[in-house]
Amino acid sequence: MADEFQWLVAGLGNPGPEYEFTPHNLGFLVVDRLAARHGIRVSRKESTALVGQGTVSGQKVLLVKPQTFMNLSGGPVHTLMRKHGVGPAGLILVYDELDLPWQSLRIRPGGSAGGHKGVQDVIRHLGTAEFPRLRLGIHGGRREGDGARIVLEQFNRAQRKELDEMLELAASAVESIIAEGVEMSMTKFNRRAPGLNKEEE
């Protein structure tokens, strides 16, 4: 049997340089930031994904970037979880959220996909929606216009300047989930986006 890990952190995105700096690839970018912070190389090809293993917050972690394109993310995630002995409670799924404001961050212990097709596919393969996830806001909490276009357009200049801070915060949130658990991390990291007067759900 393959090595067992305490956590599997899967960032959702699309492979290919044309998608690298788009909102739909925030999951990949957070995994890359975590990897950089902990000296992990996410470069080994396994189960149609790029993976890297190392230690985060003192625990053995597998970092995963599925290479199937967003809407088919569930297959690689599920296969790697079974292969490496990780149950749903040990999965941290990181992805973009069209219904949350840009730069906001939400940790949840489970719940629906909220229309996100990559998350829908993970839920379908796992047979449960009860796994921790980190949602990253990309669009001011509004759905006007073409959602598919919004998630695949390149970050603008202002967003690129703000991206580093967002990725640092997201990486810290994942580290907190691993070290302190979901509930405490929700208290620490679920916060209002800049300029909002009320907490978003």
Catalytic residues: 24
Q: Spell out the SS3 assignment of 95-129.
A: EEECCCCCCCEEEECCCCCCCCHHHHHHHHHHCCC
Q: Cα 111 vs. chain centroid, distance in angstroms?
A: 15
Distance CA 196, CA 5 (A): 39
Lateral strand order in the sheet of 59-66: 44-45, 49-56, 59-66, 7-11, 91-97, 133-137, 105-108
Distance CA 117, CA 197 (A): 30
Q: Please enumerate in sequence order all residues whose Cβ is within 8 A of that of 127, keeping only pairs 6 or more positions apart, or say none.
A: none
Half-sphere exposure of 92 (CA within 13 A, CB side): 30
CB 178 within 8 A of CB 37: no
